[in-house]
Structure 1
Amino acid sequence: MRAAYRRPMMNNASPSVSSPSSHESALRLLPLVAIVFSGFLAVGLPLPALPLYVNGVLDFSPLAVGWIIGLQPLTTILTRKFAGTYVDRHGPRQSVMMGLPMAAMAGLLYVASALIPHPPAALAVLVAGRVLMGPAESLFLTGTMTWGIGRVGPQRTGIVMSWQGIAMFAALGLGAPLGVWVMQNVNFLAVGLATVAFPLVGLAIASRVPPVPVAAGARKQVPFLRVIGMIWRQGGALSLASAPFAVLTAFVVLYFASRGWEGAGLALTGFAAGYILVRLFFGRLPDQLGGRKVAAVSLVIEALGQFLLWMAPGPGFALAGATLTGVGFSLVFPAMGVEAMRRVPPESRGVAVGGFLAFVDITSGVTGPLAGLLIGAYGYRAAFLAGLAACVLSFAVIVFGMGREPRRGA
């Protein structure tokens, strides 16, 4: 059954495009990148502020902080199927126009929480906001990615995912220090107001971008579980490759502190610089060379980065390892995205994007606790050894576990 779906994906461009040039593709993607950036500022800015608010202002325990932080990723995972189905049936633009106002509404609940003087009631309203932000993210992110593929054609899936990934990462990276500054210098009410404003900026941009037609046969789309069956190898490889990223962002600061090293912030900067620069200069490689080749080479680089972090005798080696981890991880997502999108019919592309993103969500949710258990038993270095093992497993899935690669242009 899988082979029957490959040819339409390789032959048919989106009905809204006719093989745009690289310059035309950039112009068509730019507003969607801006939408993702605006929407993800609403996700990233509150993250570092929430612990300060829940624990420092409302005076709840660290356990409550953990639940508040984890609620949004959980509801995001649970709504990926809904978002993908909605995109395929109603179009990606409609999904974005629905998701961004929901994100703004979640911000309004943050504002309401900050205005309530009774801590338990304030926490309950905050919980509602976190729950609402999950489906909001699912809708606008699945929508923008599918919208981008529709605007420039499935033959440019890799560049769509590369650019939108840059927007996500940049928004999260900028949002974190901005959220800390706003919380420390103003209050959580200001954090909530910013969370309202950023999605509305994205909504204003989205309202000016023309829609792409819903794919023919969208009402008879492939069932979600069958789509997952088509892309689970690509999603599994991505999930394994994402584990080092999750470990690095969660524990590299504590790793440096445990060794008495300075420069933990530079390690995160090195990772971010490697990640973004590779996507900027080499983001077209998955489309040009094929996803499997690019992902395999990327994983070798990522594994080398984890090896350096594991055996680092000093901070210089660890900084190099963090940077190489960013360089290697950068193109795995768009590379596996190219391979996944080749294996599904156009009318189920939204479901495929939603399912594909869910693999990253799951990794983000389980890696931290598992790595924490490993660190408790064997120390911080063990987490990076596990990251190296995850890269090796992902490489094995890509090289040996995906069968024959669909012929380009077949």
Structure 2
Amino acid sequence: MNKLWTKDFIFLSLSNLFMFGSFYMLLPTLPLFIVDSLQGEEKHVGLIIGLFSAAQIFSRPLTGRWLDYYSRKHVFLLARILFALCMFFYLGIASLFVFFLLRFVHGFGFGMATTASGTIASDIIPQERRAEGMGYYSTFASIAMIVGPFLGLVLLQAYDFYTMFLICTLLSITSFVLGYFIKVSKTEKSKERSKKKFKLTNFFEYKVVPISIVSGLMYVLYGGIVSFISLYAKERGNVDLAGYFLGILSIALIFARPLSGKVSDKYGSHLVVFPGFILAIIGVLLLSQTQTVLTFNISAALIGISFGLMLPSLHATMLELVPAERRGTATATYFMGNDIGIASGSFILGFIANYLGYAMMYLSSTLFIVLSFISYLTVLHKKKLEQKQETSLSS
């Protein structure tokens, strides 16, 4: 079996850890920065995520094309430089308008960086260990999701915004340096690509749209959890439960990902994806009806395990559908589905919560899990038909 933990894989994973660490440090601290330092209002806080997400989605198809047409490492390093520069410019922000402009550019750079690193990961990881490798690769971002917000708040309490932004900048530069030493093998350029003629296939990979829908529908649930879990915990009488919930969810995710990848590679993705759907439904049903701290935390663990089981396998399945020279565009399309799922989840589930309350909102979110399950069955059915056709042609 080909080696997974190569120098390039380790450096790429660590590069992602530092980049995501700096990113997550800003999540709980930027709202405070707007209100305390830029004299903004609470209504401006929503634009932090809105502008960032919009730019991230916009950057995906462009980055996918660049990755498949130009040097993947050059695109990767350019994205890391742009991300680090944006972190540096937070140090001198004094205007609310300039802040939001920078936030948009930052989102574009983050979209570029994550698409590029995801594509390079698919090139580095051995094919027969793809789900396992994607599980470990994603785990580094999950670790950053736990450590980053905590570190950002600690730095803010001990020092000030300037120091926190400076640390974020140093982490971003470290991410670039680590990425610089990654060796990326050259891939054959897609013959369909043309600089002069505009084609949608230059920016979107239609073969991965079905599996992107499966993943995107699950990210609707994730978007609802991230956006409203604090308010739901407050409604239940203990706002601190939100922090425990996200922590337990992240830890469960970290432990489930590598194991699920190994099982998926050896026995097939359906053996981890199907249990993932079941655990997700049980976890969300329990969350919607929870009345105690114990059930609140159990629901977090079940949802975290479900995501840990499913996401690496879905990502690996997506990569199986395209040739190597189309991985950049395919990864961009897949990540766009996830971005749209998170954004629409915040909007749709927020609309439901406004009229029916948070408990009914989480209860209704099981519908998206069911739709994701049906979509996954469709993907499996199509895959089996294609395998039968290939067998009949070869015989």
| TM value normalised by structure 1 | 0.86
CA 1:161–1:267 in structure 2 vs 1: closer, same or farther (change >3 Å)? same
Which segment drifts farther, 61-70 or 45-54? 61-70
2:43 equivalent among 38, 55, 63:
63
**Contact 1:286-1:338 at 8 Å conserved across structures:** no
Q: Do the aligned partners of residues 161 and 272 (structure 1) sit closer, same or farther apart at CA in structure 2, a change above 3 Å counting?
A: same
User: Compared with structure 1, are the counterparts of its residues 227 and 284 closer, same or farther at alpha carbon in structure 2 (3 Å cutoff)?
Assistant: farther
Which residue of structure 1 aligns with residue 251 of structure 2? Answer: 273
The aligned residue for residue 36 of structure 1 is 16
Aligned partner of 1:247 in structure 2 is 224
Offset of 1:219 from its aligned partner?
6.6
What amino acid maps onto 1:191 in structure 2? M
5+ unaligned residues in a row in structure 2: which ranges? none
> What is the identity, as a one-letter code, of the residue corresponding to 1:313?
Q
- The match for 1:234 is 211
User: 1:108 touches 1:192 (CA, 8 Å); kept in 2?
Assistant: yes
Tell me whether 1:382 sits opposite 2:360 in the alignment.
yes
- The residue number in structure 2 matching 1:88 is 68
Structure 2 distance, partners of 1:335, 1:282, is 8
Percent identical among aligned pairs is: 20
How far residue 193 of structure 1 moved from its aligned partner, in angstroms, is 1.5
Instruction: Give the secondary structure class of the aligned counterpart of 1:284.
Output: helix
**How much has 1:270 moved relative to structure 2?**
1.7
* Residue 20 in structure 1 maps to residue 30 in structure 2: no
Note if contact 1:33-1:167 (Cα within 8 Å) is conserved in structure 2: yes
For 2:79 and 2:157, the matched residues in 1 are separated by 29
Give the match's secondary structure for 1:404.
Answer: helix
Q: Which amino acid aligns with 2:39?
A: D
Over residues 257-315 of structure 1, what are the superposed CA-to-partner deviations in whole Å (9 max), with x where a residue is unaligned?
A: 21224644322222112111101333323322333442222111111111111222322
Query: Out of 110, 117, 121, which is 2:90 matched to?
Result: 110
Conservation of the 8 A alpha-carbon contact between 2:272 and 2:309: yes
Partners of 1:109 and 1:126 within 8 A in 2: no
What's 2:302 paired with?
324
Structure 1 gap segments, 5+ residues each: 1-18, 117-121
Kindly state the Cα deviation for residue 98 of structure 1 after the two structures are TM-superposed: 0.5
User: How many Å apart are 1:161 and its aligned residue?
Assistant: 2.4
**1:339 pairs with 304, 317, 342, which one?**
317
Cα 1:165/1:401, change in 2 over 3 Å: same
Give runs of aligned pairs for residues 281-300 of structure 1, distance below 5 A: 281-300=259-278
Q: Distance in 2 between the 1:281 and 1:322 partners?
A: 19
Distance 2:188 2:269 in 1: 24
Structure 2 distance, partners of 1:70, 1:130, is: 10
> Who is 2:333 aligned against?
355
Q: Please state if 1:192 is matched with 2:192.
A: no
Using the size of structure 2 for normalisation, the TM-score is 0.89
- Provide runs of 4+ in structure 1 moved above 6 Å: none
Whether the aligned pair in 1 keeps the contact of 2:260 and 2:308 (CA below 8 Å) is no
Pair 1:311 & 2:289 matched:
yes
Tell me how far apart the structure 1 counterparts of residues 303 and 228 of structure 2 sit (CA, whole Å).
14
- The superposition leaves residues 33-64 of structure 1 with CA deviations (integer Å, 9 ceiling, x where unpaired) of 10111111222111211100111222211221
Match of 1:124 among 88, 97, 108: 97
Q: How many residues end up aligned between the 2 structures?
A: 383
Over 3 Å counting, the alpha-carbon distance change for 1:152 and 1:52 in structure 2 is same
